[in-house]
Structure 1
Amino acid sequence: MKNLSLFLTLLVLSVCANAQEKQQDSTKLQQLDEVLVNAVRVNATSPITHTNVSKEDLEKRNLGQDIPVLLNFLPSVVTSSDAGAGVGYTYIRVRGINAQSTNITLNGIPYNDAESLGTFWVNLGDFASSVESLQLQRGVGTSTNGSGAFGASINVLTDAVSDVANAEISNSFGSYNTRKHNVKFSTGKLNNHFEIAGRLSQIKSDGYIDRASSDLKSYFLQGAYVDDNRLIKAITFSGHEVTYQSWNGLEDLDLLENDRTFNTAGMYTDEFGNTRFHENEEDNYQQDHYQLHYTERINNNWSTNLSLNYTHGKGYFEQYKEDEDFADYDLEEITIGGETVNTTDLIRRRWLDNDFYVVNANANYKKNKLDMIFGGSYSAYDGDHFGEIIWARNASSSEINDTYYDGNGKKKDASFFTKATVKLNDKISLFGDLQMRFVDYKTTGLTSDRVPLLIDENYSFFNPKLGVTYELNTNNNIYFSYARANREPNRDDFENNETVKPEQLNDFELGYRHQSETFSINTNLYYMLYNEQLVLTGDRDNVGNPIRTNSGDSYRLGLEVEAVVKPLEWLMVQPAITVSSNKNKSTVVSRDGALADLGETNISYSPEVVLSNALVFNPVNNLNLSLLTKYVGEQYMGNTDSDASKLDSYFVNDINVSYKLDTNAFVKSITFSALVNNIFNEKYISNGYYYTYDDTWSVPNETTTIEGTGYYPQATRNFLVGATLKF
């Protein structure tokens, strides 16, 4: 009721803000919708490397898998899933760049977690069903809101206002007891001005990995007012996820070979020596979003946008832990039967409770050969971190739900930008983008390991971007751009390294584009030169978060090609190719008790070759058949080029079929969809971790560095089928 009341309040405010009644066409409405993301998007001829994805593109495979998996066939993209089947915790890397360095915005509002800088799509189950379009920018891209893009950005525009009333029901089922159910509706424009639209969804899956279940509930609700020159949207959406943990992966190579779905999460030995699994070894988190957008076209030259956001997130992950030391939980030793006891089995919950506020404002001026946008964004984050013991075999002096650590993080982020495109003549356009960003980050209290974490950092970043586009003719253009990005460390970086530094990137992009009815191609050569890049070490901390470290000087050099070829009316081929070299210029490590200079090494999780292709057949009207192919070359999980850290290449093929049946009845159309993933039943691994430790005890006075690895097996052949009824 609290969520609904807040939404209705925002809706009333938006309706009362303006009550003009003017007829306007759908083209103008679409333009007003797009103003929401104009500040963070680029157009087709901008000197920024990008790919656009439409609602129709997403719908073909939207049968329950998360957004990262739906983007798997875009250039330079590699995806993975803890549970193995694309539902639950899923991840996306672009050009080898991880989620902490990828900027995500929803209607221009930052979505990255302010402290971890990561993106948790699991908190927004079935969000793809409410996406109108999205744009993936590779490289630094244009200035965006929130934590700066450090190699890629994804900006999402949610559902546009519908002119006509409509509704749909969608259901899908598949392997591992996966199912998705949703209902959507729109009133269309009432009295030519007002619209209310919404979606209610649930996704469940048992997961490919044992017990890696997901239960994702979500909703999306939108109220809008439109006239010729204004669009007001009040939007609320929420997701509640309960997922059984599967982040441990598999370290036992015998299990990897013979029982690759085995999950060690929640495993413990009871007092009788039996192996058991804790039934609630799970994440349980809810995130509620409230957005208010006011967009106005003042005249033919000026348009403005003001956006407000409030996000509240709260939840925990629960773990069964054996033989934990009392001292680690601020508990006292006890005596039982004359014996001193200082350890216990226990169940703990580690909580997050946070609030996030955002205001964005920008103005767009267009006249003749000038297109200029300027504006700013301010956000404030306040997050509590605390842990509770909810059960203990030997309770010592604890009470139920005792808090054993408590900490707080506060972060303020302000940025201001001016960007402009100037068309010098019929051939040459210049692009400029200047951004100043100011970050204030403070923490107090203890970490989950009961170690004080006192951060008090202020950063000022200047991020310039320049580019030029030369139009050879109406079908061909070339572009060149330079962009600088600076980015602060995240909370985990400070926890794991007291001397962590901010990272800097100089990005050079040279591209060629050709566009025609039967053949289109985008090619891009990039050189990303880093200073103190925060690269993944391959290791994880004790709660499964990836550990990063500054790498000094490093670079990524690559060639990207994406094309659309239509040799026949019923046949289309869509290949995407990336070939790259990703290097740390100098790597020094401690090995066997001494420092070793390894020279130039490969950057972790950065395959040199990533290929994808879609072979699309349309033999008859409304029937679409696609063969989807993905190849990812071998990659290292660490930065030392150790053979032990190498992930093998993999080659996976999917088949996607959809058929739309148009009717003249109450149900306007029925779309049947089927997706068969990994049709050749490949046993592949797309992600893992790598760590080392020094053995100083096996041989006296000798240190031996031991290497360890873990792997996240992905699902073998599996399927999803579904039907969508539109009214």
Structure 2
Amino acid sequence: MKKLLIITVAVLLFPAFTWAQFSISGTITEKSNQALPGASVRIKNKTAGATTDAQGKYSISNLPAGNYTLSISFIGYRTIEKNVSINADQTLNVILTPATLIAEEVIVRATRATEKSATTYKNISKADIEANNFGQDLPFILNNTPGVVVTSDAGAGVGYTGIRIRGSDASRVNVTVNGIPYNDSESQGTFWVNMPDFASSTDNIQIQRGVGTSTNGAGAFGGSLNIQTASAADQPYGELNNTYGSFNTLKNTVKLGTGMIDNKWSFDGRLSRIKSDGFIDRAASDLKSYFLSGAYYGKKDLLRVNVFAGTEKTYQAWNGIPESRLNGDLAGMEAFIGRNFYDDRADQDAANLLNSGSRTYNSFTYKDQTDNYWQNHYQAIYARQFNEKFSFNGALHYTDGKGYFEEFKNDASFSKYGLPDVELNGTTIDQTDLVRRRWLNNDFYGLTYAFNYQAQSNLSFTLGGAYNQYRGKHYGQVIWAEYASTGTADRHYYDGKGNKDDFNIFGKVNYAPLENLNLFADLQYRSVSYAITGTDKNLSSLDFDNQYDFFNPKIGATYTLNEQSNIYGSFSVANKEPNRDDFTNLKAGLAVPKAEHLNNVEAGYRFKNNRLDAGLNVYGMFYKDQLIFTGEINEYSDAYRQNVDKSYRIGVELDAAYVINSKFGINANAALSRNKIKNYIDYITEYDADFNEIGVVPTTYANPDISFSPAAVLFGELVYKPLKGFAAAIQSKYVSKQYMDNTQNAARMLDAYWIQNARLGYDFQMKGLKNVNIGLLVNNLLNEKYESNGYTYSSLSQGVTTTENFYFAQAGTNFLLSLNLKF
């Protein structure tokens, strides 16, 4: 009876204890009423605090009645303190004023678009990145943005991954980190596997679709990714982020930072590792990285030094799955075996094909069939605000990379490795099993700079540019052979070099002749010298010396309709040099590749109020001499590209976010496009009865679709926030059919797919911790069987055409569970 009485009293008193807890909330803005997302609101001498969201809003709850001192801070603004007496829920809105310290944003100002720019772009905030960062590569974090299609060799987003924007592959997407070029100079692609967990050191990303603004590095023929690394935190912090999920995927991240020391210094560091078995057989990844940053903030100066690195060991899964294996077609597999397996390992390779899972097959079985690469980056960034009108930012950078991929080759001819045949017991042996490594050793260094001058309130100028040098060495080694010839393990059986000098200078002017009209002009000159010498992996001699001089003008206008909306239009020109493979993989009988030219027209409408943020744009991208994948590959699995005279991409894109009420929100985007080559000549290699190559047979196609260019990419997300700190989202993405070559042949196609994901996140506070976050990401909820990438090639012999299709299957239903602690 006594216990019952105690429980009854406790229950009756519980509401009183609940009523004694109060909250304080509000909005943090600057003088122009612009929200400040990421501002820190802390209660002095307490662990309680909050960070403002994308609308500048914050809330701190569960506060007993009493007197508190709030400290509100944001980089580039003066920290202020407010004394508050709480005996009820309170609203406190705060306006911050700029500090004399220079803001970090000046680092990327010259190459970024703003809300008044006549450019199609999307900003990805730190909060958005954190919410989607479960250890998958950066492309998968960007997968929900307009016109983006991502793929994974291992099938689950860890390891070798790729991204296409408006159908353009990674070699057409310009990537910069703090304004410094990141794309590989020769392939012009970005290998995200070399920067594992870089999202954990990223503050924000701007995606520009189309040509975009003048930037540094490779030309943007589909889009740009402008990455800004994390800026200094106001207070000391520590983070421990962990993820575990399907395919034994594991991510561990430790982050530490000093906050601002004496309002002048800050130091930050991150250490990460990611491991995954992958969805595909043996497609395991072992990735490690670190990021270190130190900064000095003067009254008019900012000096930041970044050092970061990534290492990867990834089992190769880049051959894909033959169509017959994917479809479980036994007769087709037997025919494939007959065409492709003919050496003394034929029985083993056949057994692997026949007995593997239809969607997890990997043709490689050698235990060390791995890709291994190490990359170190050094950045020294300096910015100075000379006065209210004039500022400068510049950077020195150096990247060194080195690595190899190892392969087992069966019955390889000695002659292909520059080695003499072996005489053994009176028998001449001209073939051997061997293991080879193909190395890349490169250095990339240079400088970037930009001067910004605000002549008048309605007139500003930017003068910027960069000079970068790349020195790459390509060589191969045979590290083991069943029959030893005259070579040694450290002998180079080929040596090639790639030397590239890249200079650009650009000038921009923004002028507002009327209060609601903004005009801009952006003129860029780019000069590229690219020499390829030595010998290639097939022992052929290389001697290409190319000089390219490009003029890339851009003009546009933005007209402000009212405080909530504007319209814009622009015309831009871009030029782009061929990459290394266009020369080294040059197919016999085809012309030396030419530089590409693009005219890009963009027009759009933007609207934003406190509930709806939306943009609608149309675009036209008209190419001259675009380099197009033919769909064929050579004996080294390298894809061929060739120039086509005229081609185009035209489309419409919608991007919108709508807050229904305090609990529900919708995010949606759509990209609809038409992507065509006006006249395409397809070349098929012809062989005689003894499989000797005798030439190429051309076939002309009128107005076919450009390969890997879906006509529709749609995304929708419903977000539900039933209580403070908890959010759930259901995501749905549709990608229409894509052709794997440019013949628009339905027999060489990736089927359309529609997948659903779910994401849960819960933030709460515990004693001794600033924040605890538990997250769950469930990918492919309905277990859709789909392929996001592939390739095809055909051959002709005795009047019969044979086509081989290969696909990269993506994982079915899988999950990632995270636990993130902030100290």
TM over 0.5: yes
Give the whole-Å Cα distance in 2 for the aligned partners of 1:536 and 1:279: 32
Q: Post-superposition shift, 1:662?
A: 1.7
Bigger drift between 329-338 and 519-528 goes to: 329-338
Q: 1:450 to 1:594 in 2, by over 3 A?
A: closer
Q: What is the Cα deviation at residue 150 of structure 1?
A: 1.3
Residue 813 of structure 2 aligns with which residue? 717
* Distance (whole Å) between structure 1 residues aligned to residue 724 and residue 508 of structure 2: 44
- For 2:697 and 2:501, locate their aligned partners in 1 and report how far apart those are by CA, in whole Å: 42
Matching residue of 1:185? 256
Measured against aligned partners, the alpha-carbon deviations of 1:218-244 in whole angstroms (never above 9, x if no partner) come to 000001100222111010000000000
**Cα distance in 2 between the residues matched to 1:352 and 1:597:** 38
Q: Contact 1:150 / 1:505 at 8 angstroms: preserved in 2?
A: yes
Distance in 1, matches of 2:214 and 2:635, equals 35
The total of aligned residue pairs comes to 693
Alpha-carbon contact 2:404-2:437 (below 8 Å) kept: yes
Q: 2:496 pairs with 407, 417, 421, which one?
A: 407
Q: 1:327 to 1:37 in 2, by over 3 A?
A: same
**CA distance in structure 1 between the partners assigned to 2:163 and 2:284 by the alignment:** 20
> Aligned partner of 1:493: which letter?
D
- How far off is 1:552 after superposition? 1.2
1:604-650 CA-to-partner distances (Å, cap 9, x unmatched) read 00000000111111111111111111100001010011122111000
1:170 to 231, 241, 247: 241
Hey, what does 1:296 align to over in structure 2? 384
Which one of the candidate residues 679, 684, 702 is aligned to 2:781? 679
Q: Work out which of the residue numbers 600, 624, 633 in structure 1 matches 2:736.
A: 633
Partner of 1:128: 199
Change (3 A) 1:442 1:347: same
1:284 aligns with 2:337: no
Give unmatched runs, 5+ long, in structure 2: 1-74, 80-97, 331-336, 353-364, 687-695
- Indicate conservation of the 8 Å contact 1:24/1:227, yes or no: no
Matching residue of 2:106: 35
For 1:268 and 1:135, the matched residues in 2 are separated by: 50
Using the alignment, how far apart are the partners of 1:23 and 1:209 within structure 2? Answer: 47
2:484 to 395, 417, 420: 395
Q: Which residue of 2 aligns with 1:4?
A: none
Distance 2:489 2:792 in 1: 37
User: Would the aligned equivalents of 2:750 and 2:787 in 1 still touch at CA under 8 Å?
Assistant: yes
Amino acid at match of 2:201: S
> 1:538 offset after TM fit, Å?
2.6
User: Could you tell me how far 1:31 is from its partner in structure 2?
Assistant: 6.2
Contact 2:525 2:552 in 1 (8 A): yes
CA contact (8 A) 2:102 2:297 kept: no
Can you list the C-alpha shifts for 1:476-504, whole angstroms capped at 9, x where unaligned? 11100000000000000112235100000
Between the aligned partners of 1:29 and 1:62, the Cα distance in structure 2 is: 34
3-state SS, counterpart of residue 660 of structure 2: strand
Whichever residue aligns with residue 622 of structure 1, its letter is G
Pick from 582, 598, 618 the counterpart of residue 675 of structure 2.
582
Counterpart position of 1:117: 188
Shift in Å, 1:691: 1.1
- Tell me the secondary structure at the aligned position of residue 210 of structure 1: coil
How far residue 596 of structure 1 moved from its aligned partner, in angstroms, is 3.0
Shift of residue 705 of structure 1? 2.7
User: What amino acid maps onto 2:547 in structure 1?
Assistant: N
User: Following the alignment from structure 1 to structure 2, what is the Cα–Cα distance between the partners of residues 272 and 578?
Assistant: 46
1:105 Cα deviation after fit:
0.2
State how 1:275-674 maps to structure 2 within 5 Å.
277-366=365-454, 367-497=456-586, 498-590=591-683, 595-663=698-766, 665-674=767-776
Note if contact 2:154-2:283 (Cα within 8 Å) is conserved in structure 1: yes
- Once residues 283 and 582 of structure 1 are traced to their aligned partners in structure 2, the CA distance between those partners, rounded to angstroms, is 34
**Higher-RCO chain (CA-CA 8 Å, sequence separation at least 6):** 1
Farther-moved stretch of structure 1 (517-526 vs 281-290) = 517-526
Partner of 1:707: 803
Report the CA distance between 1:466 and its aligned residue: 0.3
Change (3 A) 1:691 1:31: farther
What does residue 225 of structure 1 align with? 296
The Cα of 1:306 is off from its aligned counterpart by: 1.4
1:315 is displaced (CA, Å) by 0.4
2: CA distance between counterparts of 1:633 and 1:577?
A: 12
The separation in 1 between residues aligned to 2:554 and 2:328, in whole angstroms, is 49
- 1:535 maps to a residue whose letter is I
> 2:56 maps to which residue?
none
Check the 8 A contact 2:422/2:484 in 1, yes or no.
no
1:211-290 residue pairs with structure 2 within 5 A? 211-257=282-328, 274=348, 277-290=365-378
What TM-score, normalized to structure 2?
0.82
Q: Secondary structure at the residue paired with 2:193?
A: helix
**Partners in 1 of 2:293 and 2:239 — Cα distance?**
16
**Aligned-residue offset at 1:425:** 1.0
Q: Amino acid of the residue matched to residue 303 of structure 1?
A: S
Structure 1 residues 298, 606: CA separation in 2 closer, same or farther (over 3 Å shift)? same
Flag the structure with larger Rg. Answer: 2
Paired letter, 2:752:
S
Amino acid at match of 1:655: A
- Which residue of the partner structure matches residue 695 of structure 1? 797
Paired with 2:323 and 2:428, the residues of 1 have a C-alpha distance of 35
- TM-score (normalizing by structure 1): 0.93
- Residue 117 and residue 543 in structure 1: after superposition, are their counterparts in 2 closer, same or farther (change >3 A)? farther
Does the 8 Å contact 2:719/2:729 carry over to 1? yes
Amino acid at match of 2:774: F
| Structure-2 separation of matches of 1:63 and 1:500 | 41
Q: Distance in 2 between matches of 1:328 and 1:675?
A: 48
Change in Cα spacing, 1:570 to 1:637, as seen in structure 2 (3 Å) is same
Q: CA deviation at 1:708?
A: 1.6
- Show the counterpart of 1:100: 171
How far off is 1:590 after superposition? Answer: 4.3
Quote the RMSD (CA, aligned, Å).
Answer: 2.0
Equivalent position SS for 1:56: helix
Does the 8 Å CA contact 1:32/1:295 hold for their aligned counterparts?
Answer: no
From the superposition, tell whether residues 399 and 725 of structure 1 become closer, same or farther in structure 2 (CA, over 3 Å).
same
Quickly say closer, same or farther: Cα 1:650–1:199, change in 2 above 3 A. Answer: same
C-alpha distance in 2 between matches for 1:190 and 1:386? 48
Q: Structure 2 counterpart of 1:465, which letter?
A: K
Q: Structure 2 CA distance, aligned partners of 1:282 and 1:69?
A: 23
Match of 1:158 in 2: 229
2:76–2:103 Cα contact (<8 Å) kept? no
Cα deviation code 1:245-296 (max 9, x no counterpart): 000001142345489xxxx9xx998889656821110001000000000111
Task: Give the distance between the partners of 2:621 and 2:345, measured in 1 at CA.
Answer: 55
Which of 7, 14, 25 is the equivalent residue of 2:78?
25
Residues in 2 aligned to 1:87 and 1:404: alpha-carbon distance in whole angstroms: 33
Give the gaps of 5 or more residues in structure 1.
Answer: 1-21, 697-702
| Post-superposition CA distance 1:492-541 (Å, at most 9, x none) | 01122351000000000110111111112100100110001112223344
Deviation at 1:461, TM superposition (A): 0.1
Partner amino acid for 1:67?
A: L
Q: Name the amino acid aligned to 2:389.
A: N
